[in-house]
Structure 1
Amino acid sequence: MTISKNDIKEYSATSLAKELNITPQDAFNNLHTLGFIVRKDSTWELTPLGVSKGGTYKHNEKFGRYISWPESVKDYLLEDRLGQSNSDITSTVIGKHFGIPVTRINSILSELGWIKKHPVMGWELTAQGKLFGGVQYKFNTTGAPFVKWPKAILSNKILITNVNETQGEVNKISSDTNHNINEIGFRDKFKAEFRVKDGHYVRSKSETIIDNWLYDSKIIHAYERKLAIEEDLYCDFYIPTEKVYIEFWGSEEESYLARKKKKLEIYKKYNFRLIELTEKDIANIDDILPAKLLDYGIAVE
């Protein structure tokens, strides 16, 4: 319930929970974790710290005694503190777990395509992020969105791999690794021997043209980026700003076509934003690729 007295808002734990879009149990647990209340028998009691934060006892004819809190207490239940709940955590907590600043964690989650930057402030959950248990919340005081994650995210292999890469740890590909799309055999057959303008080594003349075109167009891109999914799948090119993947299909061999079919199934499964290019497109890349990029909101200078 929300109580108004002299234009000062006061909140019960239940009304705090409603304001913050969490369960009443989470609100009580968080207040307890903060040291504001303690459990005695079947009731919650204020601690000296809770009193110092403005907690007072009130009485309701229907519900009996309860603890009332000033609006300022909501600040303690937001991102950092809210992340300490028993069910889920925030990027702040994830950052503390891996020893990385929260700004860098958000950048990693964004690059993975699990969250995206809000136009004004905060972070929004994506459809891909929902697959990994993310839940959208917002700060009551500012309206800025943020995302909470299940604690299991801390052991997610995709996240761990990306954090390790950020910290400079590189895993070598083992020949006995189980690759769904037979990536190792493909890489053995088509060596990356063509050096392009940005320093990448690519596997064909056509990929050289694509990479150099992206570089000349000042479009930030990655080459052979592993997709943020459980399956072992590598794209040809990846544009992280708009989460767009580019695949160049350059062969008509039966084994290559089978690989192409499996890759397309996975792109469709996760509803990834995909641009497909063929040899015919390469001959007209200055007309074809800008139009395909514009479909995903990427304008070329």
Structure 2
Amino acid sequence: MSKSSDKPLSTTALAKSVNKEPRELFILLADSGWIEKQGERWRLTPKGEFEGGRYAQSEKYGEYIVWPVALTQHALFKRLPAAPLSASQLGAKLGIGGRLCNLLLAELGWIRSYRKGWQLTEAGALLGGQQRENERSGIPYASWPEAIEENSVLQRRTQQLLGEGEALSVDGRWRALDGHLLSSKEELLIDNWLYLNGVVHSTGHPLPFDGDGLADFYLPAGQLYLEYWGFDKTAAYLKRKLARQALYREHQLPLVEVTPEALDNLDEVLPRALLKQGLVL
């Protein structure tokens, strides 16, 4: 009788054994000619059968592919460090979310928005990107070689997105991805989010009433003003903040307010706040 440790592994279990995401392994096996997609299911190729793949049956899932445990030592898996990365996986390596990663890649011209997903451009293909399609929804997306993480252009752009490296300009102000100069790193993060999400905006925008007050941001599409209230808790700062809020109310100007606590979650906070003011992204 076989030991339980010799029990064949599903492709998902095999992926877990080699510390990779199942989707990565499916892509690697398909690219290596071991499996191929037929309709809605993966099928073994003669190469996959030669390597020990066979079919098993499950009452819940029906027929599926299993592999011998010894396969975890196969030379193929030495290629896994170069296995394709999704935007979420690449973003995790860069320190940003998957959605923001796609927006940054689009800003670089490596992908473009297409059919509710992303289409690889010629520039992206030259860097090793591959066009993929979600198995269930059919939504297109791009995958990337792990080497893309070391791309100097992507590294510089990511640093600028996060307010690192060259984002701090010579005169002490912060240069955003769109070239705007901001007075703080926090404002830069907001500016970069607006820019990557295609929200037209101006910075240091004059308020439409007497005085020399300037709004942090103005969004003309929704006729909205956006203010960032920082960490400063001094009496003088709080007094200015309350006075500014009172002016917005007095002149009935729509205002979106961002606090320091929201900066790590702009993808959740800003779409909701803008929608409440009638601006749909």
Shorter-chain TM-score category? 0.3 to 0.5
**TM-score normalised over the length of structure 2:** 0.38
